[in-house]
């Protein structure tokens, strides 16, 4: 697996861990938090995964690309909000699209050397 792809995977995975903690804080807004930076890094990493794997002839790559694109859309929707509450992040965390991408990445990490 390329170093760039691995860095993108790590950004999504560590970002998700941050989001789980943020969701538990009961915040009404993102003022004073790093959630926007984290979401931006996750969006950029998912977009990078899309770009790296688009056109790859691997059987599983098209699945990962589709889930990455859907995750980018969901994260972008959250980022477009004026305030990012813990509840909003909790709903993003529950999104089947983000969870699918995470599962894809866990599997991909274990199967590609």
Residues in Cβ contact with 38 at an 8 Å cutoff, skipping those fewer than 6 apart: 15, 18, 19, 22
Residue 113 has pLDDT above 80, yes or no: no
CA dihedral (76, 77, 79, 84) positive or negative: negative
pLDDT digits (tens, 9 = 90+) for 16-26: 999 999 999 99
Model-level pTM? 0.94
Q: How many structural domains does the chain have?
A: 1
Q: Which residue has tokens 């691997």?
A: 58
Helix, strand, or coil (residue 24): coil
Identify the CATH number of the domain in which residue 75 sits.
Answer: 1.20.120
Q: 49-95: per-residue pLDDT in tens? A: 999 999 888 889 999 999 999 999 999 999 999 999 999 999 999 99
Residue 101: give the domain boundaries: 3-111
Dist CA 28 CA 81 (whole Å): 12
Token readout for 1 is 């697996």
């Amino acid at each position: 697996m390329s170093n760039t792809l691995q860095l993108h995977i790590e950004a999504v995975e560590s970002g998700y861990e941050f989001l789980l903690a943020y969701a538990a804080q009961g915040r009404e807004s993102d003022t004073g938090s790093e959630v926007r930076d984290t979401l931006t890094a996750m969006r950029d990493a998912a977009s990078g995964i899309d770009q790296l794997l688009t056109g790859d002839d691997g059987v599983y790559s098209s699945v990962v690309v589709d889930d990455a694109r859907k995750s980018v859309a969901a994260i972008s929707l959250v980022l477009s909000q004026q305030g990012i509450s813990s509840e909003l992040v909790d709903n993003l965390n529950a999104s089947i699209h983000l969870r699918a991408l995470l599962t894809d990445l866990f599997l991909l990490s274990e199967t590609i050397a």
